[in-house]
């Protein structure tokens, strides 16, 4: 990639992030989102607990997940930027783990980062565990589903205020459950 093309892409990504829907202006708003996340679920939905682990063999995961989801979630891969239809998902609802169904984010926690991956500025409490990743030489914070251990993405400190966080998630690791879905 030419340097000029890279610089243009970075500038557009920054502009897109600032032009997106604004998250709550203060931490109290974020705490309310985290506390009231169940209001984004369809009525009558049963929610799995992060303390009910899902442990399957590699072959069982391979049968359960599509190939690209398996690569991302079980082999810590990354989907191609801009390939997820969830980038454009705007309806009220829940983003759950594609591996085990654990609710991870609400639609109100999502923002357009301009990166090409679904991005969120906060999470449903207890949804993830983290670890350091040195794959690209410099350390990054990688996050995994607390229930099934599936890899979802990386956490960065370039998100919108008030958290300043960006959970950069692979779309193939998520399933979207619209609030108006029939259960």
- pLDDT at residue number 134: 67
Tens digit of each residue's pLDDT (9 = 90 or more) over 71-129: 999 999 999 999 999 999 999 999 999 999 999 999 999 999 999 999 999 999 999 99
pLDDT band at 136 (very low <50, low <70, confident <90, very high): low
pLDDT for 151 beyond 70:
yes
- pLDDT at residue number 15: 36
Domains of the chain, residue spans: 3-178
pLDDT band at 182 (very low <50, low <70, confident <90, very high): confident
The reported pTM is 0.85
- Report whether 137 contacts 151 (CB < 8 A): no
CB-count burial class (<10 Å; 0-12, 13-18, 19+) for 64? middle
pLDDT for 146 beyond 90:
yes
DSSP alpha helices (H): ranges in the chain? 3-19, 27-35, 58-64, 67-75
Among residues 100, 145, 148, 168, the one annotated as catalytic is: 168
CATH of 3-178, one of 2.170.150.20, 2.60.40.10, 1.10.1060.10, 2.40.100.10: 2.170.150.20
- pLDDT at residue number 140: 86
Q: Does the annotation count 100 as an active-site position?
A: no
pLDDT band at 135 (very low <50, low <70, confident <90, very high): low
- Mean pLDDT of the residues in the chain: 88
Q: What is the mean pLDDT of residues 143-162?
A: 96
Backbone angles phi, psi at 78, to 5 degrees: -135, 135
- Report whether 147 contacts 50 (CB < 8 A): yes
Tens digit of each residue's pLDDT (9 = 90 or more) over 7-34: 344 433 443 333 345 788 888 989 999 9
pLDDT for 145 beyond 60:
yes
- pLDDT at residue number 22: 73
Q: Which residue has the higher pLDDT, 156 or 10?
A: 156
Residues 94 and 90: their CA atoms lie apart, in Å, by 11
């Amino acid at each position: 990639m030419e340097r000029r093309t890279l610089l243009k892409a970075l500038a557009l990504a920054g502009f897109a992030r600032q032009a997106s829907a604004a998250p709550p202006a203060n931490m109290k708003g974020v705490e309310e989102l985290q506390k009231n996340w169940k209001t984004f679920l369809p009525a009558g939905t049963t929610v799995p607990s992060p303390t009910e682990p899902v442990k399957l063999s590699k072959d069982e995961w391979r049968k359960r997940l599509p190939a690209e989801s398996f690569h991302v979630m079980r082999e810590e891969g990354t989907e191609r930027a801009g390939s997820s239809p969830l980038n454009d998902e705007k309806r009220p609802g829940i983003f759950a783990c594609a591996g085990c169904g654990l609710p991870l984010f609400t639609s109100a926690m999502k923002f357009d980062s301009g990166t090409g991956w679904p991005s969120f500025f906060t999470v449903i409490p207890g949804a993830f565990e983290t670890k350091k990743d040195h794959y690209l030489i410099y350390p990054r914070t990688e996050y995994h589903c607390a229930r099934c251990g599936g890899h979802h993405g990386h956490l960065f400190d370039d998100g919108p205020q008030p958290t300043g966080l960006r959970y950069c998630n692979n779309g193939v690791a998520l399933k979207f459950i619209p609030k108006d879905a029939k259960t």
